[in-house]
Amino acid sequence: MNTTNKPLRIDIVSDVVCPWCVVGYKQLAQALKQTDTDYEIYWHPFELNPSMPSEGQNMREHIIEKYGSTPQESDASRARITQAGADVGFDFNFTDELRMHNTFNLHQLLHWAQTQGRMHELKQALFTAHFTDGRNISDKEVLADIAAETGLDRAEALAVLADQRFAEEVREIEQHWQRQGVQGVPAIVFNERHLVSGAQGVENFTSILNQLADMPE
């Protein structure tokens, strides 16, 4: 338990189309609850596939192309991810139609949502839209719908995507984390000092939180 008055700062670098980013966050959230930790989360952008065309690509084709996976390996990976999600209460619904997307627009929308105090809610909604509901998050109208569902202004969301007003800022943030050595996600940084990579599991995250709580300020 964090016995100081200062909440634990947690920076999470992730991408919306990264399944282990969902799992890792959900595992961490359970550990935070179990340890009764006082915390503040800050989400940061990372693009798994910055060169992906705007219309995206079929997920299975993309994985086979990028990693050389066989269909059997792809199925096994999906089964592992689905079980890991179920263990922390997240529903992955992998279908043959699921697509990999270019996420630069999503990160701009998230950056805007942060100015409205809604970044965390939008991030969770986008995870669900993509992995559970199979919505087309390459479509700006769909993104605006999701923003509106989280309490944001739909017309303003469309305007943000149309004029790309946060493009430069998002690029700068992405580059900052790359300079910090983040090459894969999820990357979770505690108190701006301790980097943990990947979905560690509830037990390991709990252990990490307990260790941090015992550290002197």
Helix crossing, 154-163 with 140-149: angle to 10°?
140
3-class DSSP state of 190 = strand
84 is a domain residue = yes
pLDDT digits (tens, 9 = 90+) for 106-130: 999 999 999 999 999 999 999 999 9
Residue 91 lies in a domain: yes
The predicted structure's pLDDT at residue 54: 85
Split into its structural domains, the chain has a count of 1
CA distances from 204 to 20, 22, 88, 190 (A): 15, 16, 14, 14
Tallying the residues shown for the chain, one arrives at 217
Q: Is residue 202 part of a domain?
A: no
Q: Quote the CA–CA distance of 119 and 97 in Å, as a whole number.
A: 28
- Other Cβ atoms less than 10 A from the Cβ of 14: the count is 23
What is the per-residue pLDDT for 167?
98
179 domain-assigned: no
Q: Give, for 126, the enclosing helix (H) or strand (E).
A: helix 119-127
pLDDT tens readout for residues 54-66: 889 998 898 888 8
Nearest to 92 by CA among 79, 107, 102, 73: 79
Residue 4 in domain: no
Element (H, E) at 11: strand 8-14
Q: What are phi and psi of 184, to 5 degrees?
A: -150, 160
Look at residue 217 in the predicted model and tell me its pLDDT: 62
Q: Report if residue 201 sits inside a domain.
A: no
pLDDT score at 87: 97
Percent of the residues in the chain that have a pLDDT greater than 90, as a whole number:
86
pLDDT at 209: 97
The answer to whether the CB of 196 falls within 8 A of the CB of 28 is: no
Task: Give the model's pLDDT for residue 60.
Answer: 87
Owner of token pair 């043959």: 96
Nearest CA among 51, 18, 77 for reference residue 197: 18
* Residue at 204 is within a domain: no
3-state secondary structure at position 211? helix
Contacts made by residues 165-168, CB under 8 angstroms, sequence distance 24+? 165/108, 165/112, 166/108, 166/111, 166/112, 167/104, 167/108
- Does residue 50 fall inside a structural domain? no
What's the domain range around 62? 57-100
Q: List, for the chain, all residue ranges whose pLDDT scores fall below the cut of 70.
A: 1-4, 217
Q: Identify the CA nearest to 25 among candidates 71, 39, 57.
A: 39
Gyration radius of the chain's alpha carbons: 17
